[in-house]
């Protein structure tokens, strides 16, 4: 393994740890919401309130700001980077402050867009709660700028901890509401505001320590030029199209009955955990290095980074899907079984999650393909291809809405991501992606993963379930532990085989 590959893997591990903490804390807040509200109209409202800052985080971190700012900050000298950071903070913070004012004045419009099937959502909210959410909007946007600055300096762990800080503040508010026995939505809104504030302040503190000058040289002038703004707009637009996909599907679920929006949300959040920790992390870490290789016009390094990242993404996706499909019900029972959700509700969430799980491999391919095209300074290409696929999303949702069938509606998610992955892969030229997907060890490792999971399923069916009453502790914990063992064996096999192949290739290249 080369030094660049070691650095890539190490950065991915640090970012994965930070994101794992944030995602697990996110699960904690979802579990608390489910325990407090179950599958009810009030649960739908709580999820809508959380969707507003979550939407901004996903937009700013996965798309626009990262695509535009990371390459610019990475290539700039110290003074110019400081000027660019401050100017971007002013522009982005000011723009989202305007959106916050619109939300505070007309909250009904926003709530209707996020959940058109929900009746009278404002009856659950006091005016100060609306203002707290509005104040969190520009704070979240500013944290997007600071996260991009941290990522540009390869400080992925510090940037990744932002989600953990935000979710811990929300969890603190919900725990306090549980302690006092009421006003859950009030303390949820307070936690959202506090989380947005603490996250931004913590990232600013990290940047001060991280050698970003406290003052920038005014002689640099206005460095936030037209090209950078256009790159931000294009990246933000393409990212927004991707982020609103689950929001559109979830909004459609609000027409299917009370609590369906919450059920769809819980299912999607379960899928976002492996996606955020293991899959899209690869694209986040690879993007700055792809940009740097492109700036050096080093095609060999560019292709190698993309190939290694793509093969790792495909194999880990296979592990996630094969381990998740037969055992996800155990995780759902542990997470949501102790609250207000009935057995039928748990089974409903399980089925929705199994359908959504099919989108994982396609998200990995599309995120890396988008990172490659954006690194080549072609964000407009990503935008156009994403927009073209987005045109089919309403058509994909029609069967589920027409039949009032939640499973059919959720199927729109993996089908959409499959179409997007194919379209974005074509934008890279196809040669490198074909090499990544067609590696000599992809099929053998895929078969090995299938064998490991099959053995775990047989143990579950013939040993654990028949002996359920004799086991110490809940059966779900044993089944989840078995799934974890199968996942660990498969993931270790994937990483070991890839390292061995890369070591052999490196030695052959130096003979």
Q: Please state, in angstroms and rounded to a whole number, the distance separating the CA atoms of residues 195 and 189.
A: 10
Task: Look at the block and give the residue holding tokens 């004799």.
Answer: 470
Domain count, the chain: 1
pLDDT at 61 over 60: no
- Average pLDDT on 45-65 reads 70
pLDDT at 459 over 90: yes
pLDDT tens-digit series, residues 14-24 = 666 766 777 77
Most confident region among 44-58, 175-189, 364-378 by mean pLDDT: 364-378
SS (H, E, C) 329-354: HHHHHHHHCCCCCCHHHHHHHHHHHH
Q: In this predicted structure, what is the pLDDT of residue 197?
A: 94
Strand, helix or coil for residue 409: helix
Most confident region among 86-90, 279-283, 349-353 by mean pLDDT: 349-353
Contact between 314 and 361 under an 8 Å Cβ cutoff? The reply is: yes
- Average pLDDT on 336-345 reads 81
Structural domain harbouring 440 = 3-509
- Average pLDDT on 112-134 reads 82
Most confident region among 43-47, 107-111, 336-340, 397-401 by mean pLDDT: 397-401
- Average pLDDT on 43-47 reads 85
**Which ranges constitute the DSSP H helices of 181-298?**
184-209, 226-253, 260-274, 280-295
Q: In this predicted structure, what is the pLDDT of residue 223?
A: 63
Q: In this predicted structure, what is the pLDDT of residue 509?
A: 52
pLDDT tens-digit series, residues 357-393 = 999 999 989 988 888 888 887 877 888 898 899 999 9
Task: Look at the block and give the residue holding tokens 């603490």.
Answer: 198
Q: In this predicted structure, what is the pLDDT of residue 313?
A: 86
Contact between 38 and 339 under an 8 Å Cβ cutoff? The reply is: yes
Dihedral angle, C-alpha 439, 443, 449, 450, nearest 10 °: 160
Which of 343-346's residues contact partners 24+ apart within 8 Å by CB, and which partners?
A: 345/38, 345/39, 345/259, 345/263
Angle, helices 127-152/78-105, rounded to nearest 10 degrees: 160
Q: Please state, in angstroms and rounded to a whole number, the distance separating the CA atoms of residues 476 and 483.
A: 10
SS (H, E, C) 53-97: HHHHHHHHHHCHHHHHHHHHHHHCCHHHHHHHHHHHHHHHHHHHH
pLDDT at 407 over 90: yes
For the purposes of burial, counting CB atoms within 10 Å of the CB of 66, is it exposed (0-12), middle (13-18) or buried (19 or more)? buried
Residue among 421, 418, 92, 386 at smallest CA distance from 239? 386
pLDDT tens-digit series, residues 190-205 = 999 999 999 999 888 8
Which residues are within 8 A (CB) of 213 and not within 5 positions of it... i.e. 6 or more apart? 78, 79, 82
Q: Which residue has the higher pLDDT, 326 or 440?
A: 326
Q: In this predicted structure, what is the pLDDT of residue 221?
A: 61
Q: Please state, in angstroms and rounded to a whole number, the distance separating the CA atoms of residues 213 and 220.
A: 14
């Amino acid at each position: 393994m080369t030094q660049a590959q070691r650095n890539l893997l190490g950065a991915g591990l640090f970012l994965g740890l930070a994101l794992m903490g944030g995602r697990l804390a996110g699960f904690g807040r979802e579990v608390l919401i489910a325990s407090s509200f179950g599958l009810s109209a009030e649960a739908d409202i709580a999820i809508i309130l959380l969707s507003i800052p979550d939407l901004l985080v996903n937009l700013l971190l996965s798309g626009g700001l990262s695509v535009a700012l990371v390459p610019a900050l990475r290539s700039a000298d110290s003074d110019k980077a400081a000027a660019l950071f401050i100017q971007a903070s002013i522009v982005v913070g000011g723009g989202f402050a305007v959106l916050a004012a619109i939300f505070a004045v007309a909250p009904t419009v926003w709530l209707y867009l996020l959940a058109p099937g929900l009746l009278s959502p404002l009856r659950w909210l006091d005016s100060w709660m609306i203002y707290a959410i509005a104040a969190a909007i520009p704070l979240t946007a500013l944290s997007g700028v600071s996260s991009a600055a941290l990522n540009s300096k390869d400080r992925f762990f510090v940037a990744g901890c932002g989600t953990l800080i935000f979710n811990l503040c929300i969890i603190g508010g919900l725990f306090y509401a549980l302690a006092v026995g009421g006003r859950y939505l009030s303390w949820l809104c307070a936690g959202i505001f506090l989380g947005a504030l603490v996250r931004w302040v913590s990232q600013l503190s990290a940047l001060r320590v991280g050698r970003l000058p406290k003052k920038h040289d005014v002689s640099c002038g206005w460095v936030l030029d037209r090209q950078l703004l256009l790159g931000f707009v294009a990246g933000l637009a393409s990212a927004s199209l991707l982020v609103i996909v689950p929001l559109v599907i979830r909004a459609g679920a609000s027409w299917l009955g009370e609590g369906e929006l919450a059920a769809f949300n819980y299912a999607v959040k379960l899928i976002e955990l492996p996606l955020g920790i293991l899959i899209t992390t690869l694209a986040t870490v690879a993007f700055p290095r792809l940009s740097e290789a492109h700036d050096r016009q080093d095609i060999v390094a560019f292709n190698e980074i993309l190939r290694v990242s793509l093969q790792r993404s495909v194999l880990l996706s296979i592990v996630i899907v094969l381990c998740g499909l037969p055992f996800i019900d155990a995780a759902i029972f542990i997470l949501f079984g102790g609250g207000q959700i009935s057995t039928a509700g748990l089974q409903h969430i399980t089925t929705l999650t199994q359908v959504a799980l099919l989108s994982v491999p396609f998200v990995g391919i599309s995120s890396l393909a988008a990172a490659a095209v954006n690194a080549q300074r072609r964000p407009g290409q990503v935008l156009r291809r994403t927009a073209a696929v987005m045109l089919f999303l309403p058509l994909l949702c029609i069967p589920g809405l027409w039949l009032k069938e939640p499973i059919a509606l959720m199927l729109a998610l993996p089908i959409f991501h499959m179409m997007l992955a194919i379209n974005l892969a074509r934008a890279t030229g196809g040669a490198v992606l074909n090499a990544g997907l067609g590696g000599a060890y992809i099929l053998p490792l895929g078969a090995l993963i299938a064998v490991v999971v099959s053995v775990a399923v047989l143990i579950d069916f013939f040993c654990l379930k028949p002996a359920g009453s004799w086991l110490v502790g809940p059966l779900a914990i044993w089944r989840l532990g078995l799934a974890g063992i199968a996942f660990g064996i498969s993931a270790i096999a994937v990483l070991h085989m890839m390292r061995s192949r890369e070591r052999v290739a490196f030695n052959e290249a130096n003979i």
